[in-house]
Structure 1
Amino acid sequence: MLDKFKKHISSSFPMLNQKKILVAVSGGVDSVVLAHLLQMCTIKIALAHCNFKLRGTASNQDQIFVEALANQLNCPIYNTQFDTKKEAELAGESIQITARKLRYKWFYEITEEHDFQYIATAHHLNDSLENYVMHSIRGTGLKGLLGVPQQTHKVIRPLLPFSKNEVIDFAQKQNLKWREDASNAKDDYFRNRIRNQIIPLLKDENPNLLASFKQTLQHLQQSQNLLEDYSALLYKELITDHSTYYSLALDKLKTLPNPNAILYQLLHPFGFTDWESVYSLQNAETSKQIFSETHTLEKNRNQILIFINQEQTNNIEINILETNKVVKFGDSVLKLELAEHLGELGNQIAYLDFNKLKFPLSLRWVKNEDRFFPLGLKHSKKVIHFLRDEKVPTSIKKQTWVLCSNQEIIWVVNYRISEKFKLTKNTKKCLKISCLKV
């Protein structure tokens, strides 16, 4: 196994050379073997062990064992303890989910504090098979059938090509010692029931189940790669980046086969899960919205708009003095300068009668009750109604800024100046204000 492992590291993880690796070690055979194999590859490692205090004295004995292993390997060790049951109750989550969150949060803290480049975990081929079966039962897409990924950000899983039997066989031949977790034999958790009940039945039907599964994984990965390549082409064709949001062209989407499948592939990275609602946006009324934890989808005529969810602080107000030349707000800046004549035109530029302004000017978010005199009109209008008539999407309305002089709106930024502050034949001094993205 050592030779196969070295070849695997060389081909799949060449970047580990001269890097510091934090190895997650529970004390079980998988993580013990991983630590030994990495050290045999002359990779610089340290061990990290979490005591979740779930198995009484056995948990403490695991910690003592891992400390002895670190001493044997002559490498640093980092230990921590969690009151996992209490944390799970506070979070309202299962013990397994809580333990996983606590573990990885702590791992990342260590990598930052002690300059480790990667975190190595001991997931192997059997774990991938368990994931495959679990996701198949619960329902998933193609990506969910790919088992455990080889790498997720800083987390690497060098044992994935190897079966549990290969790991145990290596440990026995090397006379390694490890701890047995008696809870793995119990069927208290879904994963344990998959491992202890369902997979043995599958092996009865196919004694070469793992080999067949490994080949299936390769085929699925090839299909996923092809799908991702096609999706990248579709992304360029269908999605436009507007800096503060994205738009997806529905008119183009509807000319393609399998539009629902395309929507899933393009939008699932944004955290959406209610796919029937997402698909229904294609024929929904304008302004219909769907939310994920991180993003908002909004139907806008022949487009689906994609916004990052933002906390808007309505009481933000930026004062602009007469001497200011550049003012930063959000992801933009206002550039102020005197102009002798009209130059370039556009919604991102305002030309105002300087002598009608009273400094300091103020820049703030739009409010529901705001009114102004849009250029070209002799009567006032609610800003939100003006934006609606300009066909501005609901989510963008909420992110609109207004520039005020003496509490009166002089410019709905990036849309329209006020009729009352426009240049006239009597204008003596012109202020040019440009809104630029940074």
Structure 2
Amino acid sequence: MLNQLKKHIDNRLDFLNKNRLLIAISGGVDSVVLTHLCHQLNLDISLAHCNFNLRGKESDDDEKFVLQLADDLNIEAFTESFNTEGYASEHKISIQMSARELRYYWFDELALQLGFDYILTAHHADDNLETFLINFSRGTGLDGLTGIPEINNKFVRPLLPFSREHVIDYAKANNLKWRVDSSNESTKYLRNKLRHEVIPILKEINPSLLQSYQGTINNLSDSGDIIEDTMELFLNDAIDVIEDNKITFKISEFKKQNNPKAYLFEVFKDYGFTEWNDVVNLLETQSGKYVVSNTHRLIKHRDTLLLSELFLEVQEDILILDINQEIETPFGLLTFSKTNGVSLNDTTTIYVDESLLKFPLVVRPWKIGDVFFPFGMKGKKKVSKYFKDEKLSLLDKESSLLLCSGNTIVWVINRRADNRFRVTENTENIIKIELK
């Protein structure tokens, strides 16, 4: 197995030979074998172990085992203790999901702070098959059927070509010691139920199950490449505008396709949407309707779809005490400076009469009933009516902020100044307000 792994790394993962590596180690046979193999290949490795405090003394003994192994091999080891049950309760997620989030966050932090280039995990071919069956049983797209990626950003799985049987045989042949996690025997978890009850039956039916599955993975990956090429061409036509806070897609491009739902799924699948019939309905519904996921919102606006992260409203008014203060806004940095000359107002810069301002100024979200006097126009207008006339999308309306002097609007930030604060021939001191 050592020679096979060396050949695999040299052929496909040669970058591992030249970089600092952090091995995620539980103390179980898979990660212990990975550690020994990497050590024998003289890779630059350190160990990272998570103590999730879920099995009492057994969890503590796992940690001690990993530290002893690191000492025996003369390599660096890091350990971290987590209140996994507390995290699960606080975030209202399962214990397994909590452990996953905690460990991957910690691994990322270690890599960033200590300069590790890649993080190795000991997933093997059987883990890959289990993941396929889990995704298949829950319902998934093509990505969910292609298994665990060998390389995913900083995470690398060099043992994916090897079976669990390969790993255990190597451990026994080399008299290695490892820890056994008693929770892995419980079939209350779906992965364990598949591992202990379903996959043995499948292997009995087809002794070459893992090889057959690998062939299926290769075929699916090839199909995925075709879809990726097709989607790249489609997006070149479908994406209208890419901005900091949203991406605009042309509805007409989706409607041109024989199966618009398939294209909608491929474009928006990574943004957490699950109600795909609702997403499809956006193509025909009235402007302003939207669908939300946990992280994003997809809005129908006229003949486009607007994708954005969920907007976090400003919870408190932001006070500006004097003109020397700079303010961070969702649109950029708001600055104030005295000037002798005036250029034309635009969406990012306005000029006002200093004598008309009453500090502290306030930056706040707009509200129903707000009224201002748009620069360059006679008379007043409700902010809501101004937004409607400007044909702003729901997203743009929600994210709009006002700069106010007392209760009076000075500027609909990044859009229109108020005429009452304009510079005139009687103005003695001019303030330039700029959004950078």
Q: TM-score, normalised by structure 1?
A: 0.86
Gaps of 5+ in 1: none
Question: Cα 1:348–1:55, aligned 2, differ >3 Å: closer, same or farther?
Answer: closer
Aligned to 2:265: 264
How far does residue 56 in structure 1 lie from its aligned partner after superposition?
Answer: 4.6
Which residue number corresponds to residue 302 of structure 2? 301
1:358 paired residue number? 357
CA distance in structure 1 between the aligned counterparts of 2:372 and 2:119, rounded to whole angstroms: 57
In 2, Cα distance between equivalents of 1:245 and 1:431: 35
Matches within 5 A, 1:25-36: 25-36=25-36
- For residue 319 of structure 1, what is the aligned residue in structure 2? 320
Q: What is the letter of the counterpart of residue 193 of structure 2?
A: R
Cα deviation code 1:66-114 (max 9, x no counterpart): 2332222111222344454455445443332222233333333433443
Corresponding position: 1:201 with 2:212: no
Distance 2:161 2:118 in 1: 19
For residues 101 and 432 of structure 2, the distance between their equivalents in structure 1, rounded to whole angstroms, comes to 48
Q: Is the 8 A contact 2:22 2:116 kept in 1?
A: yes
Once the two structures are TM-superposed, the CA of residue 173 in structure 1 deviates from its matched residue by: 2.8
* Secondary structure class of the residue paired with 1:282: coil
Matches within 5 A, 1:330-369: 330-333=330-333, 347-348=347-348, 350=350, 354=353, 357-358=356-357, 362=361, 364-365=363-364, 366-369=366-369
Output aligned runs, 1:34-183, within 5 Å: 34-85=34-85, 87-183=87-183
Match of 2:372 in 1: 372
Change (3 A) 1:391 1:182: same
Residues 247 and 306 in structure 1, CA contact (< 8 A), matched pair in contact too: yes
Does the alignment pair 1:5 with 2:43?
Answer: no
Question: Structure 2 vs 1, CA of residues 115 and 414 (structure 1 numbering), >3 Å: closer, same or farther?
Answer: closer
Question: Greater CA deviation, 207-216 or 65-74?
Answer: 65-74
How far did 1:255 drift? 1.7
Matched to 2:149, the amino acid is P
Gaps of 5+ in 2: none
Cα deviation, residue 216, structure 1? 1.0
- Which residue identity does 2:100 align to in structure 1? R
How big is the shift at 1:224?
1.8
TM-score, normalising length: structure 2: 0.87
* Deviates most, 20-29 or 78-87: 78-87
SS of the residue corresponding to residue 296 of structure 1 reads strand
* Contact in 1 for aligned 2:362/2:405 (Cα 8 Å): no
Amino acid at match of 1:291: V
Q: 1:329 and 1:53 mapped to 2: Cα distance?
A: 42
Query: Kindly tell me: are residues 403 and 204 of structure 1, through their superposed partners in 2, closer, same or farther at Cα, counting changes over 3 Å?
Result: same
1:224 corresponds in structure 2 to 224
C-alpha displacement of 1:350: 4.5
- CA RMSD for the aligned pairs? 3.1
Cα contact 1:122–1:159 (8 A) shared by 2: yes
SS at match of 1:27: coil
C-alpha deviation, 1:213, in angstroms: 0.6
Separation in 2, partners of 1:87, 1:399:
32
1:163-191, Cα deviation, whole Å (9 max, x unpaired) = 11221222233232323334433322111
Residue identity matched to 2:385: H
Distance in 2, matches of 1:319 and 1:270, equals: 36
Amino acid at match of 1:245: K
**In 1: Cα distance, 2:391 partner to 2:35 partner:** 60
Post-superposition shift, 1:247? Answer: 0.9
User: Is the 1:413–1:435 contact (alpha carbons within 8 Å) kept by the matching residues of 2?
Assistant: no
Q: Give 1:369 deviation, angstroms.
A: 2.8
The answer to whether the 8 Å contact 1:322/1:359 transfers is: no
Identity between Structure 1 and Structure 2 (%) = 37
AA in 2 matched with 1:250: I
- 3-state SS, counterpart of residue 272 of structure 1: coil
